[in-house]
């Protein structure tokens, strides 16, 4: 058996879903499954939205640095220049 033919990732999607569904149902029966509160879900959605929009802005600018990093760098440079002049 080839290495590529083993494991969960090599199964077809329907079989993966079936197995994952059984695991989720078992966790709920056992009482160990995580159940989201509305506050947890809202916070997770907010964080995902922030990350998604930040990646989109970085792609549009073509920069590897997050937005604002260049601004803070330039303000640090101006501060050091300011203190040297005095």
| Residue 27 φ/ψ, nearest 5 degrees | -65, -40
Local confidence pLDDT in tens for the 86 residues of the chain: 677 778 888 999 999 999 999 999 999 999 999 888 999 999 999 999 999 888 888 888 876 555 555 444 444 444 444 444 44
Give the C-alpha separation, 59 to 64, whole Å: 8
Does the model's pTM come out above 0.85?
Answer: no
How does DSSP classify residue 67? T
Q: Domain coordinates of the chain in residue numbers?
A: 9-54
């Amino acid at each position: 058996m080839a290495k590529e033919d083993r494991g969960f990732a090599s199964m077809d999607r329907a079989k993966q879903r079936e197995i994952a569904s059984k695991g989720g149902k078992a966790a709920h029966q056992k009482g160990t499954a995580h159940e989201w509160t509305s506050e947890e879900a809202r916070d997770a959605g907010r964080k995902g939205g922030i990350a998604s929009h930040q990646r989109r802005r970085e792609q549009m600018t073509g920069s590897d640095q997050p937005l604002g990093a260049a601004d803070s760098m330039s303000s640090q440079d101006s501060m050091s220049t300011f203190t040297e002049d005095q």
